[in-house]
Structure 1
Amino acid sequence: MKTTRTAEGRVRAVIYVRISQDRSGAHLGVDRQREDCEALAERNGWEVVETYVDNDMSAYSGKPRKDYRRMLADLEDGTATVVIAWHTDRLHRSPTELEEYIDISERRGVTTHTCQAGPIDLATPSGRMVARMLGAVARHECEHKAERVARARLQKAKAGEWGGGIRPFGWGVPTGETATKFDKATGEEVEVPVLDLDKAVPEEAEALRVGADIILTDQSIHRWVRWLADKGFTSTQGNPIGHQAARDLLMRPRNAGIAVYRGEEIGKGSWEVVLDEPTFRAVVAILSDPSRRTTPGPEPKWFGSMIYRCGLDGCTETMICSRSGGANHPSYRCQTRHGGGRRGDKLDEYIEDLIIERLSRPDAHDLLLPGPGDVNVAALQAESEQIRRRLTDLAGLFGSGQITMAQFTEGSDMARAQLEGVNKQLGRAAVKDPLVPLVGAPDVRVAWKAMPLDQRRAVLRALMTVTVRPARRGRMPDGGYFDYETIEIGWKRSAQR
């Protein structure tokens, strides 16, 4: 075991300092603690052999404290017999941690001295009793503080106020005032603009509306990500906006002015609304659809890739388009790699011509989805508010003991099921038909060629199914070698070719 006295016979001591939250990053809190602890050691003639620092680290959270664990290992190894802390609550706010510390102190003869609470000898029953009492008080203070913070956040959420944190994309207009903030990168205090988080930033708000419009038109999150990058948009922290971040941005209830607390919608917010509720609900419904692929892989470069279906011996797998075997042109092949390929450019041209011809007919408007005229949006929004109030009332009744857990669970489950139905109806009112830009266009072919590939693919999905049967060999009746008769078209929406 290491000695706990120096060659001159001085007692070896270690110092432990900790602060739960260091907003500035300047370590001012732990520095003040260290100065007081060093002064205490000097008054008592102890030699400080090590100082352990856990900055911006809560003892209540339960997360591992690196330097605290290092201190316990050193005490176990006999490095010192005195631990100096500013207060006992700097060491522990967890009964489990305290008992471990007591065990080491008792076995190794370690005493604890604090600047605020005096000495505590954990090797004696009375010292351990005092430590446990102080620990219980500290635990109570932590729990009470957490309760106050949670209550304040709930109050803010109910009032529709911003709960704090990183500036939300879409909101935060400078007020003209400034505030002082510590810059961790430079170590200096800087003046930063004060933002009004209730007011929408016009460019970012428009970007969110464009994103919603893209999702409602062709359901392509990739297209919006590309659009954001092309326009130079980044997150509020200056990072590129990727697929998951873009999806999260569009699914925020804040976009529709809806306040949220602990994942539950609790009412209307006080900030400017970027998307109307039906549009927001429709976007969420599309992005939450479990049938959507969550790992999209490479973006398709061919019109029918992953849409056309193989028709060989009852196979229903989708087909992909690629060059293989030194071919001069790309071919569509089943993902299972069985059977021969079908020439990609010929097949795409044939399907596109069918779509353009069908949408050029006078009755093309019959193919459009029904509009939202049969959905009473105002009534649905009012019903949605009533259901949310009911959920809030149920929580209040359960908290006050007026209803049982079983009654609360039954009532809240029923209300959430009703709310889900209302949200689906609101979503239906805002879904956009991908055929709209083409139906009624002066020249459908020109309009079609002007559309991005992902939008044309959305039209294909909405209008027909394409099954590619094995081709016949040799020259076809039309004199060519492409077998059109083995391409089966299934028209949707009761349309007839």
Structure 2
Amino acid sequence: MIYCRISQDRTGAGLGVDRQREDCEALAERNGWDVVEVYVDNDVSAFSGKLRKDYRRMLADLDEGKATVVIVWHTDRLTRSIVELEEYIELSDRRGISTHTVQAGTIDLATPSGRMTARILGAVARQESEHKGHRVARARQQKAMAGEWAGGIRPFGWGVPTGEVRTKVDRKTGEEVEVPELDMLKAVPEEAEALRTWTDMMLSGGSIRSLVQWCAAKGMTTTRGNAVTHTDMRDMLMRPRNAGIAVYKGQEVGRGKWEAIVDEAKFRAVVAILSDPSRRTSRGTQPKWLGSMLYRCGRGDCPEFVYVTQSGGRRFPSYRCRSAHGGGRRAEIVDQYVEDTLVERLSRDDAHELLLPTPDDVDVAALQAETEEIRGRMRNLAGMYGAGQIDEVQFAEGTDTARGQMEGITQQLARAALVDPLVELVGAKDPRKVWRALPLDRKRTVLRSLVEVTLKTPRQGRMPDGGYFDYDAVHFEWKRRTSASR
């Protein structure tokens, strides 16, 4: 049996595996052995812990007695895991298997000295893998600290074709394809515009769900060509790269050399919104009614929110709470009355007084300068820890303090960028027309921001207007007041 493995095949061509197989087949021919089967694991590291399917299949075949000789190019192609090596030694001893390598000769696992040699070679191979991993990590850290692109999946928003191409092998088809070289420091215009649009929509009261629907309607996909999911959208909005900020292992380390797409204050405002622990993150059924889980039940001392149900054989959708309080709360009538009341209030001459004050006290430039200072302290802490000048506890305490300061700045910058959800309506030539054009999630944001609606116990029988709906049972508690209402 021949076993071949290469841990990283950047082109997908499998050339490293082919060379190993040729050398192993030549060794078998010199010794007059017939090759029963060749087992190949391409682009799979023995050190990573990922499943090597052909390696496991080879062990099963050896255990069944299909062969008693294994040829590998070098022992580190067979295994770099001490646990796997011991398993292989036990199997070799039990089944009388001899192992031959092209580079290191015969490894006699039936003798103590042979097993010792195998273990030493395994330990050396493991040290080489760990050292390589450290070098790669250090190179990525160095690039991040310098504000350079450290590689990986193309982030949404960047990667303009340079006009040059390179050839790679498609792993699915095995065919050679040409792919464009990308400049990762330049923004892709249509994707950059989408990021700015999403940011503004979030700051105006939009939801992740509405942004995902926007992508579906526009045909916008991820950089891998997949439909944008809730998780994708959240990750893209919270990516520091959007604001030109470089990150290493989740921590901000400085300014990147690439083009910033989103203003930093806006970026931090979105982060504050999406990180707010009070924000509802349930991805359940999308609300279809204006007041679902926003209106309160006012039956007695009931503290519940209401939702719409057609249970009990009711002919019309009605609001009721989890305590089964309902009746006289026709959903379409309640919502229309609430909408009419909101629009009427936002159409008055003093409606501008409802707007939240502009945070003129926020010095954005000073806060951004302070952010750079904090990043510098975090880099210094990392350097001192690496040089052994401070211990792990001091490093952790210092970085925790810096992160706390950074979070405080994020909250302040967020205040400078948040958009009052009433802005579009107040002062509009036709507030009702603007209201009707808003998607439901934006209407719910306005409602949540401006008023608390409570559905009291309705009166029975015909009302003074000749109908049977008790409008007086819909109670409004305004959260923002004008000078005329004080």
Q: TM-score, normalised by structure 1?
A: 0.93
Deviations 1:72-123 (A, max 9, x none): 2333333322210011110111222222222222333322111111111111
Aligned to 1:157: 144
Deviates more, 1:156-165 or 1:99-108: 99-108
Aligned to 1:123: 110
Q: CA deviation at 1:175?
A: 1.3
Whether 1:331 aligns to 2:318 is yes
Whether 1:461 aligns to 2:453 is no
CA-based RMSD: 1.8
Closer, same or farther in 2 for the Cα pair 1:139/1:316, shift >3 Å?
same
Secondary structure of the 2:35 match is strand
Whether 1:290 aligns to 2:277 is yes
Name the aligned partner's letter for residue 255 of structure 1.
Answer: N
Whether 1:111 aligns to 2:98 is yes
Residues of 2 paired with 1:439 and 1:19: CA distance?
65
Aligned to 2:462: 475
Aligned to 2:333: 346
Whether 1:78 aligns to 2:65 is yes
Aligned to 1:4: none
Q: CA deviation at 1:266?
A: 0.7
Name the aligned partner's letter for residue 218 of structure 1.
Answer: G
Aligned to 1:400: 387
> 2:328 touches 2:469 (CA, 8 Å); kept in 1?
no
> 1:219 touches 1:286 (CA, 8 Å); kept in 2?
no
Alignment of 1:212-227 (within 5 A): 212-227=199-214
> 2:319 touches 2:326 (CA, 8 Å); kept in 1?
no
Aligned to 1:190: 177
Aligned to 2:234: 247
> 2:206 touches 2:441 (CA, 8 Å); kept in 1?
no
Deviations 1:158-197 (A, max 9, x none): 1211221222111111111222122234422222221111
Aligned to 1:262: 249
Whether 1:49 aligns to 2:36 is yes
Alignment of 1:311-390 (within 5 A): 311-324=298-311, 327-390=314-377
Secondary structure of the 1:265 match is strand
Closer, same or farther in 2 for the Cα pair 1:196/1:336, shift >3 Å?
farther
Deviations 1:322-350 (A, max 9, x none): 44556554322224433324112221122
Unaligned runs of 5+ in 2: none
Whether 1:39 aligns to 2:30 is no
Q: TM-score, normalised by structure 2?
A: 0.95
Residues of 2 paired with 1:455 and 1:354: CA distance?
17
Q: Which residue of 234, 248, 264 corresponds with 1:277?
A: 264
Name the aligned partner's letter for residue 141 of structure 1.
Answer: E
Residues of 1 paired with 2:171 and 2:83: CA distance?
34
Whether 1:65 aligns to 2:52 is yes
Deviations 1:294-321 (A, max 9, x none): 2332222222222111122322222223
Residues of 1 paired with 2:171 and 2:59: CA distance?
30
Deviations 1:22-74 (A, max 9, x none): 23333332222122112111111122223222222101112232222232233
Closer, same or farther in 2 for the Cα pair 1:328/1:129, shift >3 Å?
closer
Whether 1:303 aligns to 2:329 is no
Deviates more, 1:107-116 or 1:434-443: 107-116
Residues of 1 paired with 2:312 and 2:393: CA distance?
66
> 1:19 touches 1:29 (CA, 8 Å); kept in 2?
yes
> 1:17 touches 1:86 (CA, 8 Å); kept in 2?
yes
Q: How many residues are matched?
A: 484
Deviates more, 1:395-404 or 1:322-331: 322-331
Residues of 1 paired with 2:372 and 2:443: CA distance?
38
> 2:354 touches 2:480 (CA, 8 Å); kept in 1?
yes
Residues of 2 paired with 1:406 and 1:209: CA distance?
40
Secondary structure of the 2:178 match is strand
> 1:157 touches 1:261 (CA, 8 Å); kept in 2?
yes
Residues of 2 paired with 1:183 and 1:69: CA distance?
26
> 2:71 touches 2:101 (CA, 8 Å); kept in 1?
yes
Alignment of 1:89-108 (within 5 A): 89-108=76-95
Residues of 1 paired with 2:284 and 2:119: CA distance?
57
Name the aligned partner's letter for residue 380 of structure 1.
Answer: L
